[in-house]
Structure 1
Amino acid sequence: MTTQSSNSYSVDPQTAHQFYINGRWSSPVIPASLDVVNPATEQVVAQVARGSAEDVDRAVAAARAAFTGWSATSPELRARVLGKIHELILERKELFAQALTLEMGASISSARAMQVPLAAEHVRVARDLLSSYRFRTIEGGTAIEREPIGVCGLITPWNWPLYQITAKVAPAIAAGCTVVLKPSELSPLSALLFAQLVHDAGLPPGVFNLVNGSGAEVGAAMAAHPDIDMISITGSNRAGALVAQAAATTVKRVTQELGGKSPNVLLPDADFAKAVPLGVMAAFRNVGQSCSAPTRMIVPKSRLAEVESLAAATANAIIVGDPQAEDTQLGPIANEAQFNRIQTMIEAGLDEGAKLVCGGPGRVTGFEKGFYTRPTVFSNVDSAMRIAQEEIFGPVLCIIAYETVDEAVAIANDTIYGLGAHVQAQDLDLARAVASRIRAGQVHLNYPAWNPMAPFGGYKRSGNGREYGVQGFEEYLETKAIVGFGE
């Protein structure tokens, strides 16, 4: 797929203009291409093939033909293949890190420390589950069997490109499904690398297929396709709704991981000197381009001035710059449309009367090119403001004050979303009690370590279904009851 050494990455223009279908690289039915822009320079660095409904038909046909054989393989065989995929991701981690930096502006340090190793963890978890998961249980003479759902259409976003691919592909093929992947057209390079990797790992032809293209063309064709049994999408609410509507006519399973406006509730006994800086960095991780980023910091009104000072000091110390520089913490926003969206929302915060603590509109000083955004903190934010209700998807933090714990919980739940949440308190019983009252699919207490086994997904308009761990694996399985099976 690339001209490469073990530590370098460059796009192979021939392979980039092809899709991976039925175990080989092949050209699109209708020749067309999409530009890939480096957000650090705003220059086109590659072109990839642009797919059509006809290409989706070819990929689905390959996946359907491969399903019978792959679904009948043993868990042990599937685990061995996943083990090889995991091994190759780690072997090629620098190659992936460089590709991620080029295609979506991830700082090289975060690509190496988070984007690639956490992606590898999803593969490891899927592999390890196969050694313990019981696909058949007997309950009172009835056999409960869990069987692969079939051909899965997987639609992944631009903000965590490799991570979201492995979070879907690994459990799907572990379950015995076959897949058609549509990565984001804005960050497709790591997906091309992954396709070559699964080929090199020995995955049989047709089990994994890749078609690049737009959501309006390839994504819509996948969602409506009668031979796709399930769609899993991570993306915006608008995209998730369109996919669900298109999928409804064929009554396929649809799982969605969509937007978020996650709260971070600092209870009165929290260690503010620790909790506030960590909260700022959690909100700004991946330049704020994470659906579960805790971008609403909910704090006691009596501590507001202290929180503002701590937040400003943390945000102002963040190094924003060239993603290839070793000391850069935040690179550019991943694409121009998202950069413009963030600028619009910062202006909305100012117009609505929020207090600008630090940052603000405009590019980072010294960068005339590249989608570099100033880490921004607002205070005196009211829950009715746009910046408190709408997903900004950038390094913008809203500080909202409360008088009572009940009010803090009400503010936390005052959103159409329910993906993630954080609670900080020295009294763990109090933190647990507050967590149980927050309507979100995953709640973090006192900034715990990331857990790849913890199910992840949303309440309300943040989606449905779960990813990661056992629950994410089971999304790719059907349940069959065989009554009268016997003990």
Structure 2
Amino acid sequence: MDTFYVNGRWVRSHSTQQVVVTNPATEESLGQVTLGDVTDVEAVVDAARRAGPGWARTPVSERAALLRAIAAELTSCHEEIAQLETAEVGSPITLSRRAHAGSPIHFFASAADLIEQSKPDETIPGATVLREPYGVVGAITPWNYPLHQSAAKIAPALAAGNTVVYKPSEITPLGAYALTEAIDSVGLPPGVFNMVIGDGTTVGARIASHPDVDLVSFTGSTQAGIQVATAAAATVKKVSLELGGKSPAVILPDAPLQPAVQQALRSGFLNSGQTCMALTRILVDRARLAETETIVRDTVAGYVVGDPSAPGTDYGPLASKAQQERVQDYIRRGQQEGLRLLTGGPDRPATLSHGYYLPLTVFSDVPPHSALVTDEIFGPVLVIQPYESIQEAIDLANRTPYGLCAGVWGATRSEAVEVARQLQAGQVFIDGAGFNPGVPFGGYKRSGTGREYGRYGLEEFQQIKGLVFGADATSSASRR
């Protein structure tokens, strides 16, 4: 693939640099994609800038109808997209159907509903408050949930009246082409949506720094987010960052232990641990540490790691060789630190002869200074941290530079909520609650700025203008 989507047309890249897209389960090539360069960025930004005024004036009803048409098109190719994402990301097909292929349908349909339900004008004493689009939005998305995260940015940005310059990850770009084809099929005005593939240091950095890009929405690692924010700083544009996490699963002393541990494991290993909101630190009272370890061993032994296209597979490979090696290094580091290994290890499971697989790995009784506690590993590696008191559990949970998510299990809902209120995290799952696309999602501390999902995600792409009124000229004249 050597074309990008610019001003309503597929055009060839100005660059000849290519990357091979690899199936992480088979290590076979899925094809080659040509990367863009700065010239390509100039073209997509120019198209988006010129289309901006017309799209901003487009009636809400028309914008909503086009978003629903995109959702319908994605629905019609749901299974094709799911199979494609399993091939390029390595996610089990059940997860691909639900998250990779299913979530984008929801995001486009719900964005249409939200913009129709929102009130663009608000009257307050002496003034009117308007919500307006920013202009050109740069949407830079990650490789772990390529279409989920892309739709979570593109749909509300378009709904709010912005035009979009979209840069998906060059590691998993195939789904981006499928998404772009779906958007192209519904007849958006030229330039409203544009797509360019490229790496972060060239294409991503130029999108972030471009003076004609008014807002950058980025999802990725904290280090990459810092680079995006730095590149954007010179033009003083709005930057929304959804970054890393090292989220705790706090199991309070009287909470039902087995379901809590099993739910925490499911969260921590989701997508082979390549999930920013994964609960990767299991905090339990020391009196129940041995029982927790038994539950962990028994539960992990029942999981199936293997071919992600097989319906019975629970967990697939890591998304790339580089990611596999990064996670292996952390596991070996934990062993070198003398940490107690409950399950797993650094070597590919013996039952799998190829693919970027690693066993599901859990270390126990891990001290808070360990790199396995402090660093976002982004793989199937969890740690158990025992605590002596609820206050210590809260302190351990907050002892991290991250603050994206957390989980709390309690004997009662009120007990869990009381602890949740003290956790420094943008979203807290209570008693095993699952993903809710209407709840605001974003981080505290180094986990980012801004919020996604629901009306909070829509408002992220709207800027506020106040119209302040003086004395009515007609009334003043009549009094004279």
Question: Does the CA contact (< 8 Å) of 2:122 and 2:129 recur in 1?
Answer: yes
Greater shift after overlay, 114-123 or 401-410? 114-123
Q: Is 1:374 aligned to residue 344 of structure 2?
A: no
Q: Which amino acid aligns with 1:17?
A: D
Q: CA RMSD in A?
A: 1.2
Q: State the partner residue of 1:255.
A: 240
My pick for the range that moved more, 465-474 or 188-197, is 465-474
Is the counterpart of residue 106 in structure 1 residue 91 in structure 2?
yes
Residue among 177, 186, 192 paired with 2:162 = 177
- The offset of 1:54, in angstroms, is 0.3
Distance 2:100 2:195 in 1: 20
Q: Which residue of 1 aligns with 2:307?
A: 322
Q: Which moved more, 1:147-156 or 1:202-211?
A: 202-211
Q: 1:174 & 1:76 partners in 2: Cα distance? A: 10
**Which ranges of structure 1 fall in alignment gaps of 5 or more residues?**
1-15
1:406 aligns with 2:391: yes
Structure 1 equivalent of residue 369 of structure 2: 384
Q: Quick check: 2:107–2:155 contact (8 Å CA) kept in 1?
A: yes
Which of residues 396, 406, 429 is equivalent to 2:381? Answer: 396
| Mapped contact 1:19–1:49 kept (Cα < 8 A) | no
- How far apart, in 1, do the equivalents of 2:470 and 2:236 lie? 29
Distance in structure 1 (CA, Å) of the matches to 2:359 and 2:20: 26
**Residue 245 (str. 1) matches residue 208 (str. 2):** no
CA-CA distance at 1:367 after TM superposition: 1.9
What is the TM-score with the length of structure 1 in the denominator? 0.95
Q: Give the match's secondary structure for 1:98.
A: helix
Match of 1:305 among 286, 290, 293: 290
Q: Deviations over 1:2-42 (max 9, x none)?
A: xxxxxxxxxxxxxx210011111000123332211111122
User: How far 1:101 moved relative to its partner?
Assistant: 1.1
Deviation of 1:343 (Å): 0.4
**Post-superposition, which runs of at least 4 consecutive aligned residues in structure 1 deviate over 6 A?**
none
Measure, in 2, the Cα distance between the counterparts of 1:476 and 1:346.
40
In 1: Cα distance, 2:318 partner to 2:182 partner: 27
- Residue identity matched to 1:215: G
Q: Give the Cα separation in 1 of the matches to 2:392 and 2:160.
A: 44
1:443 shift after superposition: 0.5
Change (3 A) 1:486 1:84: farther
Q: How far apart are residue 141 of structure 1 and its match?
A: 2.2
Moved more, 108-117 or 229-238: 108-117
Equivalent position SS for 1:48: strand
Shift of 1:352: 1.4
CA shift, 1:112, in A, is: 1.1
Please name the residue that 1:161 is paired with. Answer: 146
2:14 counterpart letter in structure 1:
V
Corresponding residue for residue 433 of structure 1: 418
For 1:3, the equivalent position in structure 2 comes to none
**1:223-244 alpha-carbon deviations (Å, 9 max, x no partner):** 1111000111100111101111
Structure 1 pair 42/276, CA: closer, same or farther in 2 (3 Å)? same
Q: Deviations over 1:98-147 (max 9, x none)?
A: 11011111111211133221222222221110121011000002000000
Cα distance in structure 2, aligned partners of 1:485 and 1:322: 68
Q: CA deviation at 1:345?
A: 0.6
Distance of aligned partners of 1:254 and 1:435 in 2 relative to their CA distance in 1, 3 Å threshold: same
Question: Is the deviation greater in 122-131 or in 336-345?
Answer: 122-131
In the alignment, which residue of structure 2 is the partner of 1:227?
A: 212
Inter-partner Cα distance in structure 1 for 2:280 and 2:209:
35
Deviations 1:161-195 (A, max 9, x none): 01001000000000000000100000000000000
* Distance in 2 between residues matched to 1:486 and 1:375, nearest whole Å: 69
- In 1, distance between residues paired with 2:334 and 2:107? 37
Mean Cα deviation higher: 329-338 or 359-368: 359-368
One-letter code aligned to 1:59: V
Identity, % of aligned positions: 45
- 1:58 deviates by 0.2
Q: How many Å apart are 1:299 and its aligned residue? A: 0.3
Q: Is the 8 A contact 1:141 1:486 kept in 2?
A: no
From 6, 12, 19, give the equivalent of 2:4: 19
Q: Deviations over 1:404-441 (max 9, x none)?
A: 00000000000000000000013111111100000000
Structure 1 residue 349, shift from structure 2 partner: 1.2
Do 1:299 and 1:401's aligned partners in 2 also have CA atoms closer than 8 Å?
A: yes
* Match 1:286 to one of 260, 271, 280: 271
The answer for the alignment partner of 2:31 in structure 1 is 46
Question: Which moves more between the two structures, 122-131 or 300-309?
Answer: 122-131
Aligned to 2:262: 277
Pairing partner for 1:34 from 10, 15, 19 = 19
TM-score (norm 2): 0.97
Q: Distance in 2 between matches of 1:60 and 1:327?
A: 44
SS at match of 2:268: helix
User: Match of 2:217, as an amino acid?
Assistant: S
Within 5 Å, give how 1:53-72 maps onto structure 2.
53-72=38-57
Are 2:145 and 1:193 equivalent residues in the alignment? Answer: no
Between the aligned partners of 1:368 and 1:486, the Cα distance in structure 2 is 79
Distance between the aligned counterparts of 1:393 and 1:316, measured in 2? 21
Q: Provide the rounded CA distance (Å) in 1 between the counterparts of 2:17 and 2:363.
A: 44
Q: After the TM superposition, which of the residue ranges 419-428 and 107-116 deviates more from structure 2?
A: 107-116
Structure with higher Rg: it is 2
Contact 2:71–2:104 (Cα < 8 Å) also in 1: no
Shift of residue 485, structure 1, vs aligned partner: 7.5
Is 2:128 aligned against 1:128? no
Equivalent residues of 1:157, 1:235 under 8 A apart: yes
Distance 1:58 1:51, change over 3 A: same
Q: Is residue 21–residue 209 contact of structure 1 (8 Å, CA) maintained in 2?
A: yes
Deviation of the 1:203 alpha carbon: 1.6
Give the paired residue count: 472
C-alpha separation between the residues in 1 aligned to 2:110 and 2:421? 27
Cα deviation code 1:44-80 (max 9, x no counterpart) = 2211121000000000000001101000011111111
Asked whether the equivalents of residues 316 and 375 of structure 1 are also in contact (C-alpha less than 8 Å), the reply is no
Matched to 2:223, the amino acid is R
Which residue does the alignment assign to 1:451?
A: 436
Q: Give a deviation string over 1:293-334, Cα, whole Å, max 9, x none.
A: 000000010000111111111112110111111111111100
C-alpha distance in 2, partners of 1:119/1:377?
Answer: 32
Aligned partners of 2:15 and 2:34 also within 8 Å:
no
Structure 2, unmatched stretches of 5+, are 473-480
